[in-house]
Structure 1
Amino acid sequence: MSIQETNTRKTIITILRTEGPMSAGDLAERIGITEMAIRRHIATLERDSLIYPTTIRQPMGRPAKVYQLTEEADDLFPKNYHSLMLDILEDIVRVDGEDKIKEIFDQREERLSAHLNELLDGKSLEEKVQTLAEMQNSKGYLAKWERKDDGSYEIVEYNCPIAQVSKVYPETCSCETNVFRRVLGTDVNRSQCLAEGGSCCVFKIHEIEEPQA
């Protein structure tokens, strides 16, 4: 894919974001390329689940086919959620004190653990590790898991969607580790942390050996 093609598709997405649904003909005229060329870009964007066609009624004639952005396309635009979250947590500390932050994350730990325990019930430790990594990956953590030669497991997260919050409130990291420990029912240690300057977050998981009779 050429840089020009990439830029054209970015332009299409930006136009649909700022000006709303638009037909292929209107997009071609707006950008200054042929309708045949615009349809090629539209096909690629549809394939990538970034736009989809819909029809709108017109005062006269047949309904018009227009294109608009999908929810997936919304992720392409910058977000500033971490600033909002930091502001909210700062206000909570100001009003109720720092102990309230711990209480909030304790409640979050309870809620997440209960939810995950239902999903992981009946699975082996390896199945739980795999499912947990897949769930983290679906949330944007770029997670992967593997079984080590010594029989232990490792979950590695190469991205942290809440890293900016975690740098100020390390309770978020402790909460995640505690949830992993509770739902896996075994020993979990975090050996690296993105929020603390690591290149990734690494969770080492060791199965607890049953005491011999």
Structure 2
Amino acid sequence: MSMQDRTTNRMLYSLKVAGAQTASALGNKLGVTSVAVRQMLARLHEDGLVGFEDSRESVGRPKRFWHLTDAGNAQFPDNHAGLTADLLASVSAVFGDAGLDQLISHREKTTLNQYRAALEPIASLEEKVQHLAEIRSAEGYMAEVSRDAGGDLVLIENHCPICVAAKACQKLCRSELEVFQAALGPNVEVKRFEHILTGARRCAYRIVEKHNEDRQLAMKL
């Protein structure tokens, strides 16, 4: 693989993880000149992998923000999602909704057991969430952990390898949220506030210890 190909792959990865960016921001992040970045973006645009939107944030020329297209997102692993969607449709057709629910329930229990076994030995919530992100990244979700402005933990998944399957069966997404909640324990609340299936660039979950939330409420009262 040539240096240019490696830089192009890093550019696609950066757009996937960080979202829409200007050519200048990409150049600074990748350590290449703005001219080189614009040339690569032009080629990616010709290939249909990136698009752009012009935004006027202040007086002067509008800034051009580049983002991945559906074809660009498809460059990342999808875990044979098309086949999975077909299989789910077949299960529903042959066994009905009850059979599909049973299949999803079995997957949920298996996943939950794996996550619990990995997370239970860990004491702190932050370390649990960090390890969960590592597990999810290994499964293709490109997960990371941050804190929001209020200091709450946020689990971010920049890619959904089962997105096509989840679109065909949204019970899969509900199942994953329930697995996170159960794996992290009864004293933790998990809320999804960004969702790929509703048009967001990524899925993001706010994770809060319930006793901390109760204590903060009591202090306000």
Out of 186, 189, 204, the position equivalent to 1:187 is 189
Q: What residue in structure 2 maps to residue 30 of structure 1? A: none
Out of 161, 186, 200, the position equivalent to 1:198 is 200
Q: What residue in structure 2 maps to residue 101 of structure 1? A: 100
Q: Could you tell me which amino acid in structure 1 is paired with residue 144 of structure 2? A: K
Gaps of 5+ in 2: 7-74, 216-221
1:102-117 maps to which residues of 2 (within 5 A)?
102-117=101-116
Q: What residue in structure 1 maps to residue 163 of structure 2? A: 163
Q: How much has 1:79 moved relative to structure 2?
A: 7.3
The answer to whether the Cα contact below 8 Å between 1:167 and 1:196 also exists between their aligned partners in 2 is: no
State how far apart, in whole Å, the 2-side matches of 1:132 and 1:209 are.
21
State how far apart, in whole Å, the 2-side matches of 1:145 and 1:111 are.
24
Q: How much has 1:176 moved relative to structure 2?
A: 1.0
Give the 3-state SS of the residue equivalent to 2:108 in structure 1: helix
Q: How much has 1:122 moved relative to structure 2?
A: 2.9
Q: What residue in structure 2 maps to residue 53 of structure 1? A: none
The answer to whether the Cα contact below 8 Å between 2:189 and 2:209 also exists between their aligned partners in 1 is: yes
What is the TM-score normalised by the length of structure 2? 0.58
State how far apart, in whole Å, the 2-side matches of 1:79 and 1:136 are.
14
State how far apart, in whole Å, the 2-side matches of 1:179 and 1:98 are.
21
The answer to whether the Cα contact below 8 Å between 1:136 and 1:143 also exists between their aligned partners in 2 is: yes
The answer to whether the Cα contact below 8 Å between 2:78 and 2:160 also exists between their aligned partners in 1 is: no
Q: How much has 1:150 moved relative to structure 2?
A: 3.1
Give the 3-state SS of the residue equivalent to 1:140 in structure 2: coil
The answer to whether the Cα contact below 8 Å between 2:128 and 2:184 also exists between their aligned partners in 1 is: yes
Greater relative contact order (Cα < 8 A, sep 6+): 2
Q: What residue in structure 2 maps to residue 145 of structure 1? A: 145
Gaps of 5+ in 1: 8-75
Q: Could you tell me which amino acid in structure 1 is paired with residue 210 of structure 2? A: I
Percent identity between the two aligned chains: 30
Residues 118 and 78 of structure 1, relative CA distance in 2, 3 Å threshold: closer
The answer to whether the Cα contact below 8 Å between 1:164 and 1:195 also exists between their aligned partners in 2 is: no
Deviations 1:85-142, CA, capped at 9 Å, x for gaps: 1221111111110122122111211111111111111311111100001111122211
Residues 2 and 121 of structure 1, relative CA distance in 2, 3 Å threshold: closer
Q: How much has 1:158 moved relative to structure 2?
A: 0.9
Q: How much has 1:80 moved relative to structure 2?
A: 7.9
Q: What residue in structure 2 maps to residue 122 of structure 1? A: 121
Structure with greater Cα Rg:
1
Deviations 1:6-35, CA, capped at 9 Å, x for gaps: 59xxxxxxxxxxxxxxxxxxxxxxxxxxxx
The answer to whether the Cα contact below 8 Å between 2:194 and 2:202 also exists between their aligned partners in 1 is: yes
Residues 131 and 2 of structure 1, relative CA distance in 2, 3 Å threshold: closer
Residues 179 and 2 of structure 1, relative CA distance in 2, 3 Å threshold: closer
